[in-house]
Structure 1
Amino acid sequence: MADELDLLRAADPMPAGGPHFGDGPLDHTAERHLDRLLHDPRPGRRTWVRPRLAWGLTAAAVVVATALTVLLGGSGTAPAVAAPRPLTVRAHSTPVPLAQVAILAAVAAQDGSPALRQGTHVQSWSLGMSDDKPPVTLPEERVVRWRADASHTEVVVATDPGHPGRSVLTDDGLVEDGHVLSRRTFPPMWGDAPPLSTPPHDPTKLHAYLAELIHTDTRTTAGLLDATQELLDNWTLGARESAALAELFADARGLRPVGQVTDRLGRTGQAYVYDGRDDGGRRMLILDPATGAVLGLETTFTRDAPEYGVHAGDVMEYRAWMR
């Protein structure tokens, strides 16, 4: 309901507390996926997950059969909810080099404010595809808040900020804007490995943390961007952590500044593009140039995939992180 969405957005963040040590249970993402696999009562249904470029186009194509059957009469029918258009760079804007962003972020982080906080607040638009129906975009807002006793809550809401009040498409059909898709409370969790362990604010240590977080090579720019997304889906970075991450971006190869953009939440940022090669995707990283904070990450197709009804330039996924 819209009332619940208003309450959700107005909720005070709960800072992380208590030490993190020893082996703990699954993190909240893994536990949620395991719970869906074990308890989904609908046989044969494939759970939708966000695509990763490293999986390639075929692995990214997932079936949202229920919603498509309800909303789309056939392959020639337009989707009930239009996919978001790719972000466009403001004409004649001046690109800001990543090295300059790293310097500005380091200056902004000198007083240590804002502080690092466990948990996240993220709005996502993710494309669902199938072999025989047009693709559809599923918008969701997710808020994860941790308590001082190391327990936490997760609330997932169906909402599209670009179309307030409009019905929202989910993998179960159309629902009211602000409809709560899930609300869960998790018991206390501790751990000395990512993502439960605290991210460091030293660039070298943060690089090692990110590599451990996704268990792959973050020396590649694609790996660094994958790890950044995973990090921000678990933590809200403070000024010092954002500065460290900006330094890693400045050292990454292939991230080119393209100019100023307005993101899907109306915020102004600087865009940096990484052109994928073999994975069919192009990524645009949006940063606050004054603090280095990551505002969003957009993935678009670089080539047509007629078997899935997508074209070069279509948005595969967009994620916007908030404090």
Structure 2
Amino acid sequence: MADELDLLRRANPVPSDDGRFHDRPLDQHAERRLNQLLHSGRPRRLRRWVLSVGTAAAVGVTALTLLLSGSATTPAVAAPRPLQIESGSTPVPLGRIAARAAADRSQRLRQGTHTQTWSLSMTAGPGAGRAVTVPEERVVRWQPDGSSTELVVATDPRRPGRPVITGADPVPRTVEDGHVLSRRTFPPSWSDAPPQATPPRDTGRLRAYLDELDPTGPLSTSQLLDAVSELLDNWTLGSRENAAVVRLLADAKGLRPAGAVTDRLGRPGQAYVYEDTAHAVRRMLILNPVTGAVLGLEDTVTKDDAEFGVRAGDVMSYSAWMR
């Protein structure tokens, strides 16, 4: 146990001097920091222990996670199928999307976000089973005085209007789509550190901005995708910021164009795939083909793992960002 605690202390996923965690409860970004430990190349046994810590943190941080365990348990919300590339579609290079985004002037930068998320959590060990988080929609809006509001509702984009699951009670129960899970107002808060600081519009400064979100070193392609996700969980980007993001992605190694796809909200997009072979995960980034805005990010398992009860093709998580 001492080794694992030392690992977490060195990783320091929620630094005490980080302004993002002042004056408000911890959010899903703390969980993301813990989950980043999975991509550190550490021994498999230790990485699995950290995963269980990350799952527990999700319960404590968001109070919206449903944990279903036991070998005979069937997940109450089935994992969605992976998004499929449209047959015969022509992949569009990221450089071309970047050029289109640079010419677009239709969108303005706005602090705050509107997202839909879903994820599959896992624990290892005898009798362990799979767990799902509540499909939820989150809207964050900031006011001129620095205060903000957050509304989180239960939703399942696969079955609009159908019940979903909440883990807020001791016994999991169904709630209707659109049911308010939480509604919070935060007092004025300012920070000049990312992600609360205004994102820059040029590629070089944006790279430095995203590097601050993960101070472990130069960002790998997978870490860059995580950093962009964290940015989008805090800001709705304007046209110039979108162009800067796409230019950065165009330089990322291993992110290849895959073709046209319709995302989980029914929006047409272009898919770009990164194969994280070290961790058996396929990451699909979806961009608006005209504006370059990031529409979604989906992670899919590429290798069976009997200990966790996952199979190749299982969706681990997805996020969909809206304006």
TM-score, length basis structure 2 = 0.80
Tell me: CA distance 1:156–1:26, structure 2 relative to 1, closer, same or farther (3 Å).
Answer: farther
- Greater shift in the superposed pair: 98-107 or 161-170: 161-170
Tell me: CA distance 1:208–1:297, structure 2 relative to 1, closer, same or farther (3 Å).
Answer: same
- Distance in structure 2 (CA, Å) of the matches to 1:49 and 1:76: 28
Tell me: CA distance 1:221–1:187, structure 2 relative to 1, closer, same or farther (3 Å).
Answer: same
Q: Does the Cα contact within 8 Å between 1:155 and 1:182 map onto a contact in 2?
A: yes
**Structure 1: tracts of 5 or more residues without a match:** 1-23, 37-47
Residue 130 of structure 2 aligns to a residue in which SS? coil
Q: Which of the residues 165, 177, 189 maps onto 1:169?
A: 165
| Matched residue, 1:44 | none
| Matched residue, 1:244 | 244
| Matched residue, 1:310 | 310
Structure 1 residue 306: deviation in Å?
Answer: 1.4
What are the Cα deviations for residues 263-291 of structure 1, in whole angstroms up to 9, with x where unaligned? 00000100000010322321100001211
Q: Does the Cα contact within 8 Å between 2:77 and 2:164 map onto a contact in 1?
A: yes
User: Is the aligned partner of 1:197 residue 2:173?
Assistant: no
Tell me: CA distance 1:205–1:66, structure 2 relative to 1, closer, same or farther (3 Å).
Answer: closer
Structure 1 residue 162: deviation in Å?
Answer: 1.4
- Distance in structure 2 (CA, Å) of the matches to 1:66 and 1:154: 17
Q: Does the Cα contact within 8 Å between 2:149 and 2:186 map onto a contact in 1?
A: yes
- Distance in structure 2 (CA, Å) of the matches to 1:257 and 1:222: 15
User: Is the aligned partner of 1:290 residue 2:290?
Assistant: yes
| Matched residue, 2:117 | 124
Tell me: CA distance 1:119–1:67, structure 2 relative to 1, closer, same or farther (3 Å).
Answer: closer
Tell me: CA distance 1:54–1:103, structure 2 relative to 1, closer, same or farther (3 Å).
Answer: farther
Structure 1 residue 137: deviation in Å?
Answer: 4.6
Tell me: CA distance 1:218–1:158, structure 2 relative to 1, closer, same or farther (3 Å).
Answer: farther
TM-score, length basis structure 1 = 0.80
Q: Does the Cα contact within 8 Å between 1:207 and 1:218 map onto a contact in 2?
A: no
| Matched residue, 1:321 | 321
Residue 27 of structure 1 aligns to a residue in which SS? helix
What are the Cα deviations for residues 49-108 of structure 1, in whole angstroms up to 9, with x where unaligned? 467355256233426799456xx7x52343221111111100000000111111111111
- Distance in structure 2 (CA, Å) of the matches to 1:291 and 1:29: 34
Q: How does 1:266-285 map to 2 (within 5 A)?
A: 266-285=266-285
Q: How does 1:170-189 map to 2 (within 5 A)?
A: 170-172=166-168, 173=172, 174-189=174-189
Residue 85 of structure 1 aligns to a residue in which SS? coil
User: Is the aligned partner of 1:80 residue 2:71?
Assistant: no
- Distance in structure 2 (CA, Å) of the matches to 1:52 and 1:286: 22
% identical aligned pairs = 58
What are the Cα deviations for residues 292-319 of structure 1, in whole angstroms up to 9, with x where unaligned? 1000001111212211211111111100
Please list every run of at least 4 consecutive aligned residues from structure 1 whose deviation after the TM superposition is greater than 3 angstroms: 28-31, 48-54, 63-69, 216-219
Tell me: CA distance 1:308–1:198, structure 2 relative to 1, closer, same or farther (3 Å).
Answer: same
Q: Does the Cα contact within 8 Å between 1:203 and 1:245 map onto a contact in 2?
A: yes
**Structure 2: tracts of 5 or more residues without a match:** 1-16, 40-46
- Distance in structure 2 (CA, Å) of the matches to 1:290 and 1:84: 27
- Greater shift in the superposed pair: 185-194 or 58-67: 58-67
Q: Does the Cα contact within 8 Å between 2:35 and 2:51 map onto a contact in 1?
A: yes
Q: Does the Cα contact within 8 Å between 1:217 and 1:223 map onto a contact in 2?
A: no
